[in-house]
Amino acid sequence: MGIILKLFLSCLMFMASVMGKRQLHIGRRLVDETWYDAHATFYGDMTGAATMKGACGYGDLFKQGYGLETTALSTALFNNGLTCGACFEIQCVDDPQWCIAGAGTVIVTATNFCPPNYSKPSGNWCNPPLKHFDLSMPMFTKIAQEQAGIIPVKYRRVLCSKKGGVQFQINGNPYSIMVLLYNVGGAGDVTGVKIKGSGTDWLPMSRNWGVNWQVGTKLTGQSLSFQVTVSDGKMVEFDDVVPSDWQFGQVFDGKQNF
C-alpha cells in the first residue's frame, strides 16, 4: 500500500473516531444511529390545535406540511431554537404497562419548545438537563396509552422526508426583512442562511428566533435568492425564487429540497 494511501486511510480513521457515534454519514443519509434515552408526554388534544404556531415560528402546521407529526422539545434538546425542523424517531420502551406492544416508532418534526418551570416542585420534565419530547397527542397515543401520562422513550435523529420544496415566508419590514423557512427536508434544522437581492451580493442572515432569519438591508423591489445550509453541512441554493414584486407576508416555493 502506498504511503499516501496509508496516510489517507489513517486520516479517515482519525476523523471517524473524532466524529464518534454522534453523526454517521452513510452516503447522503445523515443517520445518528445511536438510540438515546429520554421521556415523552403529550400536549393538546387529538386535533393538534394546541401545537400550532409555537416557539419555532411556524404557523398552521397542516398548511405547512407538518400535520400532527410534531413534538415540542425540552431546553436540553431545543438548543435555543436551532433544533427546530429536525426529525426524530421515537419509540416507547421499558414500560410494559403503558407502551403499546408492537406499536413500533413515530417520526416527528420539532416544531415547538417545552418550557422549563423552575418554581414547580415536581414533574419538571422539560427542565435542563432532561431530554424530553412533548408530543402531539396523536403521536403519543400511537406508541403509548393516553393514561400513561409520561413514558420512557428511546429516540434517534433521522432525515426529514418532506414533499415539495423548501418554503420561504417573507416577513419583517422594508428595513429588516425576516424570512421564515419551513418544509425543510434532509437534516431539517437550518444552521445558516444567505440572501441575495437582484442588486446585492450574498448577505449573511442572522437567526432571530426559531426558524426566522433576518437581515437589515433594504430588499424591496428586488428578486431574492437564498443559500440555505442545514446541520449536516449540506447547502442548497435557491435562485430567484422570490420575484421582484414580492409583498410582506407572502410565501414562495423554493422548488427544491435537501
Ligand X SMILES: *[C@@H]1O[C@H](CO)[C@@H](O)[C@H](O)[C@H]1NC(C)=O
Residues that bind ligand X in the complex, under the rule CB under 6 A: 117, 119-120
- Least distance from ligand X to the Cβ atom of residue 55, Å: 13
- Least distance from ligand X to the Cβ atom of residue 72, Å: 13
- Least distance from ligand X to the Cβ atom of residue 166, Å: 33
Measured from the CB atom, the residue of 41 and 169 that comes closer to ligand X is: 41
Residue nearest to ligand X (CB): 120
Cα–Cα dist 168/178, whole Å: 10
| Phi then psi dihedrals of residue 147, to 5 deg | -70, -10
- Least distance from ligand X to the Cβ atom of residue 165, Å: 37
- Least distance from ligand X to the Cβ atom of residue 120, Å: 3
Dihedral sign, Cα of residue 164, residue 90, residue 189, residue 181:
positive
Query: Which positions ≥6 away from 24 have C-beta within 8 Å?
Result: 30, 31, 32, 33
Measured from the CB atom, the residue of 97 and 119 that comes closer to ligand X is: 119
- Could you give the strand order of the β-sheet that contains 190-197, starting from the edge strand earlier in sequence? 202-204, 190-197, 224-230, 235-242
For residue 219, CA distances in Å to 35, 216, 253 come to 44, 9, 18
Measured from the CB atom, the residue of 44 and 186 that comes closer to ligand X is: 44
- Least distance from ligand X to the Cβ atom of residue 117, Å: 4
Measured from the CB atom, the residue of 96 and 121 that comes closer to ligand X is: 121
Pairing of strands 105-113, 70-73: parallel
Cα–Cα dist 95/99, whole Å: 6
Measured from the CB atom, the residue of 119 and 247 that comes closer to ligand X is: 119
Measured from the CB atom, the residue of 47 and 117 that comes closer to ligand X is: 117
CB atoms within 10 A of CB 154: 16
172 Ramachandran zone, left/alpha/beta (phi>0; psi -120 to 50): left
Buried b (16+ CB within 10 A) or exposed e, 66-103: bebbbbbbbbbbbeebbbbbbbbbbbbeeeeebbeeee
Dihedral sign, Cα of residue 19, residue 105, residue 125, residue 212:
positive
Measured from the CB atom, the residue of 97 and 122 that comes closer to ligand X is: 122
- Least distance from ligand X to the Cβ atom of residue 119, Å: 5
